[in-house]
Structure 1
Amino acid sequence: MVDYDPVIYSRLLTSFTLGFHIIFATIGVGVPVMIALAEWTGIKQKDPHYLLLARRWARGFVITVAVGVVTGTAIGLQLSLLWPNFMRIAGHTIGLPLFMETFAFFLEAIFLGIYLYTWDRVKRKIRHLLLVIPIVIGSTASAFFITTVNAFMNTPQGFSLEGGVITNIDPILAMFTPAMPTKVAHVLITCYLTGAFLLAMISAFQILKGKHHIYHKKALHLSMVSAFIFSIATVIIGDLSGKFLAEYQPQKLAAAEWHFETTNEAPLIFGGVLTEDNDAAYGLEIPYALSILAHGYPGGEVVGLEEFPIDERPPLWIHYLFDLMVLIGIYLLLVSFIYIVSSKMAPALVYSQLLLRAIVIGGPLSLLAIEFGWIFSEVGRQPWILVGVMKTSAGATTAAHVDLLLVVFATVYIILAVSCIAVLRKLFKEYPVEKELQDRGIK
């Protein structure tokens, strides 16, 4: 019989909850931007197809927001129940962004209701467009405030801990840590990229089914052009994130790249299998690439894992998460680039079976990249819950029955997932776009 360990079950429950919630949080941040772009394009070009795009995307968005609210609330409760020692410090130092996130959500929720209600009740379309701006600001601000909490966990500051007593608390300093700029930028831009690819996936799938109406083609074009721009931004911010890790969390970068010895001109290892002698067998070694990622030039010195105590090294399997995240990012960039080039030079290829299927695959892959990136970020910080201050084992609860909570939450979330999919299918199946185009007299 396996001994009950509240730390393990607390980690499992938190991981499961966050892994589920992050799907809806990503959609909640990325899709409002696409809705705003669609309505703005429709007004600018006086094109009813783009206006209908914004209207239909907003309907589906409401359903995902509802699920995101439920799962987000559960996370707030779990932090206090499962990680009381961590919250004893975080509640005093990083409570401000947690508090502000509530107001950001209120802003988003209030204006989302007004935005949906006033579609046919505002004479000047530009005034209706203005209503989507607070939704975008609210969703983006929510992501900003929550990500500052994660940044604080990676580079904690803004307090002193002496003999277990918290003193010299500075909430502003705790919010704006060295990790904040790259983490916030990376979270936001990947949310925008994922939102664009998910919507492009839907349009590409409809075209593959033989629905060649101009509405679907315009939806695909807007989504893929946006995806290409966001892909480029993701690459740039990813590079900056690598340089942040090299300076502030070198052990995470070293574990991700199986870099054991401190060296100059360090190569980057892609894939492979780690041997007992800490050699990467069967991996692709790219000369100088790790030094360039860490410092921007080939001769940069990259700190190896040998510099850190064994009990403070992250798990080495995060290497595969890093590789998968990067590989998917390259895939999304290439697919969107091929679409852009094809639309300019060979329009017939835009709707080819191969490219459309590649776009459809890009939808779920973009969500997987989000999951891989989140797991990499959290597991790569281990064994710390607050780097250099508190280990994960010290922050967890010692209460019983966390394993029962895991079963309960897993059951509830499965029901939520099935219900969400069923409602979305029913919503759009009962009122397909072809019927709505006909009802509104749009050709």
Structure 2
Amino acid sequence: MMNEESVFFSRVLTELTLSFHIIYATIGVGVPLMIMIAQWVGIKKNDEHYILLARRWARGFVITVAVGVVTGTAIGMQLSLLWPNFMELAGNIIALPLFMETFAFFFEAIFLGIYLYTWDRFENQKKHLLLLIPVAIGASFSAVFITIVNAFMNAPQGFDVLNGELVNISPLLAMFNPAMPTKVAHVVVTAYMTSAFVLAAIAAFRLLKGSNHIYHKKALFLTMKVGLIFSIATAIIGDFSGKYLAEYQPEKLAAAEWHFETEENAPLILYGILDDGEVKYAIEIPFALSILAHFNPTAEVIGLDQFPEDETPPLYIHYLFDTMVTIGMFMVALSGLYWLGKKLKWTFVDSKWYRLLIVLGGPASILAIEAGWWLAEVGRQPWILRGIMRVEDAATSSTHVDLMLILFAGLYLVLGVGSIVVLTRMFRKNPVEQEIEDRHAEKGGDIL
């Protein structure tokens, strides 16, 4: 297998691993916060349904954490196996955030174990709730530290290059690079948003399937409300991300927006197709790209004409950007209408078709996360370390990457199918109605 094939299979395997891991990682970051909110609301309102909600989500969360650990370990291993030249060059710098990410995960795992095994050990439920704080912090900081590694690849700093080697290394300066604030904020907030909408989709699905239990209605209202807050936050941080790209990675913004010529009063192009360099059938929003890039409708936006062709990212990232933004806007509208409808007692938000849209919103949010991640990674091409090392120079020359790809694909298939089977069986054999009855019998009193 030639080096070109090694690079190709290394890229495919890395993309496959990241695409699979990001689903479990997103849920792993967002769900602890949702559990914490549900339990807090339950204690505050003295409402057993919210307490039960936290309890059931926590059980399912453990399964996703287990799969996330396996895929996260695979990523760490693949960094060294598939990209040895990159790790040799940048390993000294990114070792610190990688270590911190592992520490954050252990911090989360220890307190998660204590939290799960002490459900009925506390007279005061507030003390049990306190155990969730380090779980949520650990989960979020896992995302923070691993995103810092990615931010460094987009905006490398904190070192000097001398004869192809990195010298004068400052890991802290490298960690706090210009890409870090927007990237970290975007990843963490979208994880919260996506987790809320995935849990909302499950509640809406149960209601669609005929269960009219108040438990599912409360679950749906809580998750849609939280989803609305974080989807609005995502849109605001997305705007800051656009401004970061205009300043530090203009070639990525230009490729994502099909902005070929440097010009003022730049319009934003949505959808469309490219025909011999001509954009056709697109929706054009006047001045919107100038506003996104510089908060000024007449500002000049750098186009692809300013960059050599071999440093231009693939133009198909335009569709990834469109997918991410379209789903994001759809979820803001869907959750906003639901919340408003509940406030103003509009009946359509409880209709079957609206609940079906909420069910579809769960997988759509996951798709938006995937599109955003692919946009971040592919938009950096041809660089693995922007401006310093190209992808083809970083890859392994091993002839066995194609076999690794097949083996890892098999592993992810088993993990994906296995986790779905375990989760569905776990909740099918222990329905809400039965659990409420059991707890009712245990307590010998009424459950609110």
What's the TM-score once normalised by structure 1's chain length?
A: 0.98
One-letter code aligned to 2:129: L
Correspondence 1:298 to 2:297: yes
Write out per-residue CA displacement over residues 355-410 of structure 1, whole angstroms, 9 at most, x where no aligned residue: 11110010000000000000000000000000000001111011111000000000
- Cα deviation for residue 89 of structure 1 reads 2.1
Structure 1 counterpart of 2:435: 436
The SS at the match of 2:79 is helix
Q: Distance in 1 between matches of 2:345 and 2:48?
A: 26
> Counterpart amino acid of 1:357?
L
Which residue pairs with 1:361 in the alignment? 360
Where do residues 34-433 of structure 1 align in structure 2 (5 Å cutoff)?
Answer: 34-276=34-276, 278-433=277-432
- Which deviations, in whole Å up to 9, do the C-alpha atoms of 1:110-141 show, x marking residues without a partner? 11110010000111100000000000000001
Q: Quote the residue 2:11 is aligned against.
A: 11
Distance 1:304 1:347 in 2: 47
Counterpart of 2:24 in structure 1 is 24
**Counterpart amino acid of residue 110 in structure 1:** I
Separation in structure 1 between the aligned mates of residue 260 and residue 300 of structure 2, nearest angstrom: 13
**Alignment CA distance shift 1:3-1:91 (3 Å):** closer
Aligned counterparts of 2:225 and 2:398: Cα–Cα separation in 1 = 51
Q: How much does 1:90 deviate? A: 2.0
Distance 2:8 2:16 in 1: 12
Deviation at 1:161, TM superposition (A): 1.2
Aligned length in residues: 442
> Could you list the per-position Cα deviations for residues 143-171 of structure 1 after superposition, in whole angstroms to 9, with x for gaps in the alignment?
00000000000000011111112210000
CA contact (8 A) 2:89 2:165 kept: no
Bigger CA drift: 288-297 or 159-168?
Answer: 159-168
Secondary structure in 2 aligned to 1:270?
strand
| Per-residue deviation, residues 198-257 of structure 1 (Å, max 9, x unmatched) | 000000011111111110110001000000100110110000000000000000000011
CA-CA distance at 1:347 after TM superposition: 4.5
8 Å Cα contact 2:2-2:399 kept in structure 1: no
Mapped to 1, the partners of 2:95 and 2:329 lie a distance apart of 37
Classify the secondary structure of the residue corresponding to 2:131. Answer: helix
- RMSD over aligned CA atoms reads 1.1
Q: Distance in 2 between matches of 1:253 and 1:344?
A: 39
Q: Secondary structure of 1:158's partner?
A: coil
Separation of aligned partners in 2, 1:324 and 1:43: 39
1:326 is displaced (CA, Å) by 0.3
- Write the letter of the residue equivalent to 2:249: Q
* Structure 1 CA distance for aligned equivalents of residues 165 and 136 of structure 2: 40
User: Structure 1 runs of 4+ off > 6 angstroms?
Assistant: 1-4
What secondary structure sits across from 2:42 in the alignment?
helix
Letter in 2 for 1:147: T
**CA–CA distance in structure 1, aligned partners of residues 284 and 159 of structure 2:** 42
Paired amino acid for 2:407: V
Unaligned runs of 5+ in 1: none
How far the C-alpha of 1:73 sits from its partner, in A, is 0.3
TM-score for both structures, normalised by structure 2: 0.97
Report the residue type matching 2:157 in the other structure.
Q
Tell which deviates more after alignment, 162-171 or 57-66. Answer: 162-171
How far apart, in 2, do the equivalents of 1:265 and 1:97 lie? 40
CA shift for structure 1 position 185 = 0.3
Q: Percent identity?
A: 63
Instruction: Give 2:183's aligned amino acid.
Output: K
**1: CA distance, partners of 2:33 / 2:176:** 25
Tell me, in whole angstroms, the C-alpha distance in 2 between the residues paired with 1:85 and 1:44. Answer: 54
Q: Is the 8 A contact 2:85 2:394 kept in 1?
A: yes
Report the Cα offset of residue 411 of structure 1. 0.6
